[in-house]
Structure 1
Amino acid sequence: MGKPVILVIAPMPVFPCSAGNRRRLLSTCDFLRDCGFEIDFVYLAHEDQIYRRFAQTPPTDQKKMQEYFRRVWFLELKHPIRLNTGASAFELDDWCPEELNDFVRWYFEDHGAASAVLVNYVFLSACLLQVPAGVLRIIDTHDKFSERRNQYLPFRLAPNFFYTSPAAEKEGLSRADIVIAIQPTEQKYFSHLIGREVSLLMPNIPVVQNFVSPTKVRAIGFMGHGNDANLVSISQFASAWQQVWQPSMPVLLIAGEICKSMPSEMGPGVKILGYVEKLSDFFNEVDIVIAPMLMGTGLKLKVIEALAHGKPLVGTSVAFEGLEAQSPDHNFRSIHDMISRIQGLAATPKYLVELTAASKFVFEAYSQNVDLGAKRLSDKLSCAHVSRSSNLPPLFPSTDTRSSSHQIGPLVLTSAMTLGLSEVADHAIYGKPLATEFLVSRTDHHEWQTCSAPERRSWWVRLGTNSVESREELWSLAGKRINIAPSFTDRPMTDEAKKLQMLAMKVLSTAEPDWSTAAIFVAADSDNITITFQAPSFLLHQATRSYAFILHDGPDGTVRLEGVAISPLSFLKLPPLTMTSRCGDTSSLPMVLRAVVTQHLPTTSFAPTKLLLISNGLCGHVELNQTVQ
């Protein structure tokens, strides 16, 4: 008899482990494997979509996940998730798409071998309602979401992640047989909320380096993911640090994905390192790690990782929530008090010894809680050690490594099967990444095996050495549903890159648009262009980034627009709008786009045919079909 199988569902990938929630997920999966389970893993592409909204390539290593798990499924979303709500809280199931419920139903009705299901985050708990009787249902909470919005109010910010009411969180947690908390404070809260025992599973972070008290403080450091809590906290700390910094003081080093959301140059006393491949490389550069957290829930894994590397740490009470932190150095209420203490530590070696001892105590107590919680949860999971039969054949990466290249005019377009976007990068032979196919099950229950496979067809583009006349249809993208590579819309820096981008836009225009309409008014001169049309309402959201390209009949074929500004209009009678389900909210409004034309337009009449408007990873087509003088 084989090993028991557990189905793990998460809105983020496991690899690469570039954020705290991914490290938590990997630690949990390691624990499940130690308990004797094989794991079927479902990545519901929430994070994939969020990265695209900010014009970034989602860091996803499908190949490594294929090697780690028994099976992997990749579920793309038909509708975008809303990052904000006009209400005081999200409804419990607002972030749980119907396609996930359909998938779980398909998995168990047709093929499921799992004797347990673990869902990451309470907002995906609705899919547990599709799990048949006799299968153990588990929720790993990660965070407390009840009234999470209140943390943002002092900073006059709108949260862009899930938050809900205590009643909704209670309802979601009640769908599980076992609820797991990430730290003791939240364990007590959830236990009181649902009126029964809640398990504790703290991430097992092994010792990397032993604690050694520094003799001097040359550098202090912060490493974090690019979430709101990190950005608010380190931005305020860095600003306050610069105000008091003198050359005799330590330099503040900032590393991790948070650097993408910060200026590349911060001025005296602060250095931005960017993404660091190895944590140890960063920790070896700093003498003290800081955790100036002003907001946030769950467990701050950045704190645990610093302690695992033997680093003395100074932080706020928010940063050490759920840990046995007794030292005043781990319970600051303000950034200014933290800075004053760091100045004193740098000048007094005795204080550094005390700080190191206090930090070591926190980590040792944490490690004891890890072992105790894991033992108790392992005993609870023993009831799920049942093997079930499955009709589903094992999933293996495709052995089809062939690529196809076609030249259309001066462009060489290459397509190949890839395991996710981790493989879709600049290629020495293929060129620049252009797009990856978008696959979702439309209606057919039997499409899941194909649409949820991790493999996708991807396309690259480069300039050929010669121009080849071809009447052949742009076969490989025509009518396809695609995700445009986020990097391809970046402003090109060289003449060759500009030419490549302009020519490739005609290729992208043959793919299926996410929305389409016709313009009612177009006006252009040598410097500016104005276009009026009906468009999806999300284009007016403040956080939306839009990139615009005009296709025309001239010799160059494409004009990139700069300084794109989109505003609402008051009159209502405009041509109708066609949208795919990927646009989510199908409400539309009349709008006007104004932009700067930086390229030279033909001196004769300018005959634009189509506007490509790429926003939040979605591509809209606005038919122009008129001559503009």
Structure 2
Amino acid sequence: MSRPTVLVIAPMPAFPTSAGNRRRLVTTCESLARGGFAVDLAYFAHEDQIYRRFGQHPPTDASAMARHFQRTFRIEPKAAIPLKTRARHFRIDDWCPDELVDFVAWYCAAYPETRAVLVNYVFLSRCLVAVPPGRLTLIDTHDRFADRQAQYRPFRAEPNFFYTDAAGEAAGLDRADVVLAIQAEEAAHFAAITRAHIHLLPPHFPARRPFRAPERLARIGFIGHGNDPNLFSIGRFAEAWSADWRPGRPILVIAGEICAGLGARPRPGIELAGYVDRIEDFYDGVDLVVAPMLMGSGLKMKVAEALSFGVPVIGTSIGFEGFSPIAPAHRCAGVDEVKAQVLTLVEDARGLAALTEACANLFASYNSGTQAAEDALLTLLRAHIGDLIPERGDAVPPAAIDGHDPVTLALPGGALTCVAGLGTAEPDDARHGILIATERAAPPGTAPYSPERRRWFVQAEQGPSRGIASGLAGAEVALGPEWVRGRRLPPALRAAVAVEIAGVQPDWEAEARLVGAGPRRFVVALALPSHLVVGRHPGAAFLIEPDAALELTLGAITPLGLAQGLPFLSATRTDLAPVPASLTLDGGEAPTNGGLLLILHDDLVGRVRLPAAGSSPGLHP
């Protein structure tokens, strides 16, 4: 008997499971698979875009997703997803563009046998309007978003994730037949504002290690994604922990992507482990985990994960929301109380044994509830869809993955290699070198919404050309931010790579005029994207001339109050509003015969035309 299919749509990839929302996505899909469903996963590449805008390579493992799900799809946002709003809150559909609605309409026509569509996060609920009648629709909420911005006020910070008002959240939830809540308090809230059926589904975490009670505390840990709740919470805890740390006290080990946001300044008693490839290695290397959470909604996946590895946890009441905690160590009021609880147990073997037992009991009670909730959800789905679902069975066998031979172009001092197919989470490749760019669209000849991409790598080793004629010419790419900001390649090879990148489709174009020059320095006036004019933006600049290419140093950027604007030729993203500015460039002479100035900023490619001496670009009226 064939397994009915559920389409699952998410704005984050499933793998690697380096963040709580990814773990939630995977555990929900695993519940569906255990219930006899085949799962198709559609990744709306919102998170990919946001990572690049913050100067990081997005950890996306398309290869692992293809192995785990029946079919996988990738939907590229055509414009920037707004992280800020001038209004009091985002409208419920501000983060759900037309291309996602178009995908759902296409998918439902291409795969009419699909029985249900589940969308992650209420802000993507608009795409459910494209689901034909008769198919079950679900929203996995993850969090409550009504008035979420209020959580930031005690930290004097602005949110950079979605928030809306109660009416907007209710309207989004009303689009679904079933709404999944991650913890009881939020389930009660949603039940009061929507007509949809509310189902409480806390994520199930199978036990990975037996609980072990440490004799003493030598190393305590925290692992997490670099979101604001994590940064604010562990940032304050780390500050309190290091303030009076002395030898003999435990080392606080902080791991995960959050390390990139905590700065490189060494602090007493703090070890930044960075991203870990094997989560088991982190938990096996600490005696206790802290969850000093000061803000956030939903359920703290890091707590459930630590308990699944048998590691005792101490945290705040916010950190243990959804777990029905009893022990005082799970109901701390803030970071100071978490710190005090840890310090009282450093040499207290009996106290550590009691804490470990309390954690084991808490985890057993929690998982008993998650299993019952999963069973109830599967019963609910059978009631809506019918009796075509077999009882619990094995997961769908992985799909076959086609391989592609890489092709290489020799460069002065190195080689440019293009690899097509399903990428892994690694930004660089041991065989091909440093990742410099990923094509935004699927390669020609692939199926609609294919997750396959062409990726370009560079290494400082000369090699023969093999089947690549035009390099990156004409491609629409997202740059590898680490390559743009880093200087790991020899200067001559970086310049040669820039010549190749100069042929891609730019994100923005402008014309400049020379307004000042000195020894190995010149100043141009041009229209720059507005966000480059404010604050500091690490990037790279290259002067491309007919017979040479040279990397320059980006200097001061000063807004110009011109009555007439400088030519801003085009932009592919709606957030790239032009602002007249002067830009200082160091490290080279002003070109006399014109040329091309290539400005790279994380994922953006800017191409600026420099006129020959004696000429200047016209001004727009």
The question of a shared fold, defined as TM-score above 0.5 by the shorter chain, is answered with: yes
Contact kept? 1:609, 1:623, Cα under 8 Å = yes
Report the counterpart of residue 611 of structure 1 in structure 2: 597
Relative to structure 1, the CA distance from residue 133 to residue 466 in structure 2 (aligned partners, 3 Å threshold; closer, same or farther) is closer
Give distance in 2, aligned partners of 1:10 and 1:375: 23
Give distance in 2, aligned partners of 1:572 and 1:413: 45
Q: Alignment partner for residue 499 of structure 1, among 489, 492, 499?
A: 492
Deviation at 1:548, TM superposition (A): 2.3
Secondary structure at the aligned position of 1:73 is classed as strand
Report the counterpart of residue 394 of structure 2 in structure 1: none
Deviation at 1:589, TM superposition (A): 1.6
Secondary structure at the aligned position of 2:510 is classed as strand
Alignment of 1:301-380 (within 5 A): 301-380=301-380
Which AA in structure 2 matches 1:51?
A: Y
Report the counterpart of residue 150 of structure 2 in structure 1: 150
1:585 counterpart = 2:580: no
Which AA in structure 1 matches 2:478?
A: N
Contact kept? 1:502, 1:560, Cα under 8 Å = no
Which AA in structure 2 matches 1:98?
A: D
Report the counterpart of residue 610 of structure 2 in structure 1: 624
Which AA in structure 2 matches 1:406?
A: L
Report the counterpart of residue 516 of structure 2 in structure 1: 523
Deviation at 1:593, TM superposition (A): 1.9
Which AA in structure 2 matches 1:300?
A: K
Deviation at 1:586, TM superposition (A): 5.0
Give distance in 1, aligned partners of 2:219 and 2:122: 39
Report the counterpart of residue 455 of structure 1 in structure 2: 452
Deviation at 1:341, TM superposition (A): 2.2
1:536 counterpart = 2:529: yes
Deviation at 1:247, TM superposition (A): 1.2
Question: Can you list the C-alpha shifts for 1:386-425, whole angstroms capped at 9, x where unaligned?
Answer: 879xxxxx99666462333333665543323121354662
1:559 counterpart = 2:551: yes
Give distance in 2, aligned partners of 1:203 and 1:466: 49
Deviation at 1:52, TM superposition (A): 0.8
Report the counterpart of residue 618 of structure 2 in structure 1: none
Which AA in structure 2 matches 1:626?
A: A
Percent of residue pairs identical: 38
Relative to structure 1, the CA distance from residue 541 to residue 141 in structure 2 (aligned partners, 3 Å threshold; closer, same or farther) is farther
Report the counterpart of residue 476 of structure 1 in structure 2: 471
Deviation at 1:92, TM superposition (A): 0.2
Which AA in structure 2 matches 1:593?
A: L
Report the counterpart of residue 405 of structure 2 in structure 1: 402
Report the counterpart of residue 75 of structure 2 in structure 1: 75
Relative to structure 1, the CA distance from residue 165 to residue 199 in structure 2 (aligned partners, 3 Å threshold; closer, same or farther) is same
Contact kept? 2:179, 2:196, Cα under 8 Å = no
Secondary structure at the aligned position of 2:159 is classed as coil
Give distance in 2, aligned partners of 1:616 and 1:89: 28
Deviation at 1:36, TM superposition (A): 1.1
Contact kept? 1:572, 1:590, Cα under 8 Å = no
Give distance in 2, aligned partners of 1:164 and 1:535: 31
Give distance in 2, aligned partners of 1:295 and 1:448: 47
Q: Which moved more, 1:335-344 or 1:166-175?
A: 335-344
Give distance in 1, aligned partners of 2:609 and 2:541: 13
Deviation at 1:465, TM superposition (A): 4.5
Give distance in 1, aligned partners of 2:45 and 2:80: 10
Which AA in structure 2 matches 1:457?
A: R
Which AA in structure 2 matches 1:454?
A: P
Contact kept? 1:518, 1:624, Cα under 8 Å = yes
Give distance in 2, aligned partners of 1:552 and 1:536: 23
Report the counterpart of residue 489 of structure 1 in structure 2: 484
Relative to structure 1, the CA distance from residue 432 to residue 166 in structure 2 (aligned partners, 3 Å threshold; closer, same or farther) is same
Gaps of 5+ in 1: 389-393, 442-446
Q: Alignment partner for residue 503 of structure 2, among 510, 519, 522?
A: 510
Q: Alignment partner for residue 575 of structure 1, among 566, 583, 586?
A: 566
Which AA in structure 2 matches 1:567?
A: T
Contact kept? 1:233, 1:293, Cα under 8 Å = yes
Contact kept? 2:8, 2:39, Cα under 8 Å = yes
Report the counterpart of residue 418 of structure 1 in structure 2: 421
Secondary structure at the aligned position of 1:523 is classed as strand
Report the counterpart of residue 160 of structure 1 in structure 2: 160
Contact kept? 2:67, 2:399, Cα under 8 Å = no
Give distance in 1, aligned partners of 2:262 and 2:448: 37
Which AA in structure 2 matches 1:519?
A: A
Question: Can you list the C-alpha shifts for 1:570-600, whole angstroms capped at 9, x where unaligned?
Answer: 114233323343x2235322122234x2x4x
Report the counterpart of residue 24 of structure 1 in structure 2: 24
Report the counterpart of residue 170 of structure 1 in structure 2: 170
Secondary structure at the aligned position of 1:152 is classed as helix
Contact kept? 1:517, 1:578, Cα under 8 Å = yes
Give distance in 1, aligned partners of 2:71 and 2:520: 54
Report the counterpart of residue 434 of structure 1 in structure 2: 436
Relative to structure 1, the CA distance from residue 529 to residue 229 in structure 2 (aligned partners, 3 Å threshold; closer, same or farther) is farther
Contact kept? 2:539, 2:599, Cα under 8 Å = yes
Question: Can you list the C-alpha shifts for 1:344-401, whole angstroms capped at 9, x where unaligned?
Answer: 222433332332232223212211210121111111111225879xxxxx99666462
Relative to structure 1, the CA distance from residue 554 to residue 401 in structure 2 (aligned partners, 3 Å threshold; closer, same or farther) is closer
Report the counterpart of residue 550 of structure 1 in structure 2: 543
Contact kept? 2:409, 2:464, Cα under 8 Å = no
Give distance in 1, aligned partners of 2:322 and 2:83: 27
Relative to structure 1, the CA distance from residue 466 to residue 210 in structure 2 (aligned partners, 3 Å threshold; closer, same or farther) is closer
Relative to structure 1, the CA distance from residue 416 to residue 284 in structure 2 (aligned partners, 3 Å threshold; closer, same or farther) is closer
Give distance in 1, aligned partners of 2:96 and 2:373: 29
Deviation at 1:320, TM superposition (A): 0.7
Question: Can you list the C-alpha shifts for 1:198-256, whole angstroms capped at 9, x where unaligned?
Answer: 10111111112222332211121111111111111111111111112121211111111
Give distance in 1, aligned partners of 2:362 and 2:603: 43
Deviation at 1:57, TM superposition (A): 1.5
Secondary structure at the aligned position of 2:597 is classed as strand
Q: Which moved more, 1:371-380 or 1:542-551?
A: 542-551
Secondary structure at the aligned position of 1:625 is classed as strand
Secondary structure at the aligned position of 1:550 is classed as strand
Q: Which moved more, 1:496-505 or 1:44-53?
A: 496-505
Deviation at 1:626, TM superposition (A): 3.0
Which AA in structure 2 matches 1:588?
A: P
Give distance in 2, aligned partners of 1:543 and 1:151: 27
Give distance in 2, aligned partners of 1:162 and 1:529: 42
Give distance in 1, aligned partners of 2:367 and 2:455: 44
Relative to structure 1, the CA distance from residue 432 to residue 338 in structure 2 (aligned partners, 3 Å threshold; closer, same or farther) is closer
Contact kept? 1:412, 1:464, Cα under 8 Å = yes
Report the counterpart of residue 619 of structure 2 in structure 1: none
Give distance in 1, aligned partners of 2:210 and 2:433: 46
Relative to structure 1, the CA distance from residue 377 to residue 395 in structure 2 (aligned partners, 3 Å threshold; closer, same or farther) is closer
Contact kept? 1:553, 1:608, Cα under 8 Å = no
Give distance in 2, aligned partners of 1:303 and 1:463: 44
Report the counterpart of residue 391 of structure 1 in structure 2: none
Alignment of 1:198-213 (within 5 A): 198-213=198-213
Q: Which moved more, 1:472-481 or 1:92-101?
A: 472-481
Gaps of 5+ in 2: 390-396, 615-621
- TM-score, length of structure 2 as denominator length: 0.91
